[in-house]
A = this chain, B = another copy of it.
Amino acid sequence: MASRGINKVILIGNLGSDPEVRYTQNNTAIANISIATSETWKDKQTGETREQTEWHRCVAYRRLAEIIGEYLKKGSKVYVEGRLQTRKWQGQDGVERYTTEIIINDLQMLDSRPSAGQSGGYAGQSSGGGYAGQQNQGFGGGGDAPRPATQQATPVAQNFQQPTSQPEPFIPDQDFDDDIPF
């Protein structure tokens, strides 16, 4: 597959309402969620604190749509990565309109104290079974256990030009089960 351009959206925000999940005739799940991102600032002239909320209509398909329906709800905080897509449609009044949506590729729950059905985790749209490590740089809303920072305690030299003996590099395995989102 080829491409000429980059079309990438990254959001962190909260769901304004519960996800809406529906199914196509051939049983493919489609989830719609509305995510709010907001900014607040102090107006220099009035001294007041202002807030501007932006709403983003997002869409996910297949397994990711099911996960959204199962684990997200109104108020959930999420990280979303996707691409912009503007659709043309016609209202009942016959007027043509356009809607811009974010087609979700990656999603991660950011609620640190997930409720029962919200164990926190990650969900990438990689139903093909391919290695998702590179693209799914996501991860978890739940209880991340920070480990001691022993690694960066010993920064290091490196020689790019004439690498010395190095063992076979670890290359991420591509074949692994992809059905369990987290």
- The reply to whether B4 and A38 contact each other, CB–CB distance below 8 Å, is yes
* Set of chain B residues within 8 Å of A137, measured between Cβ atoms: 3, 5-8, 37, 39, 81-83, 105
**Interface size band for A:** 35 or more
Q: Give the oligomeric copy count.
A: 4
- The reply to whether B108 and A110 contact each other, CB–CB distance below 8 Å, is no
* Set of chain B residues within 8 Å of A93, measured between Cβ atoms: 95
A128-158, CB < 8 A from B: 128-149, 151-158
Contact digits for A1-37, partner B, Cβ 8 Å, 1 yes 0 no: 1111111111111111100101011001010101011
Q: How far is the CB of A51 from chain B (nearest CB, A)?
A: 7
Chain B residue nearest to A119 (CB atoms) is B2
- The reply to whether B89 and A43 contact each other, CB–CB distance below 8 Å, is no
> Contacts A4-B122, A4-B142, A16-B149 given; 15 further ones with Cβ under 8 A?
A1-B143, A2-B40, A3-B108, A3-B140, A12-B110, A12-B138, A16-B148, A17-B146, A50-B146, A52-B152, A61-B171, A87-B156, A98-B151, A105-B135, A129-B131
* Set of chain B residues within 8 Å of A55, measured between Cβ atoms: 86, 147, 149, 151-152
Can you list 18 A-B pairs with a CB-CB distance of less than 8 A? A3-B140, A4-B121, A5-B54, A7-B139, A24-B168, A42-B146, A42-B177, A44-B175, A52-B149, A83-B134, A87-B151, A87-B155, A87-B156, A90-B155, A92-B165, A105-B137, A129-B130, A134-B136
Cα–Cα distance between A181 and B1 once the two chains are bound (Å) = 6
Instruction: Tell yes or no: A69 within 8 A of B by CB.
Output: no
Cα–Cα distance between A2 and B39 once the two chains are bound (Å) = 6
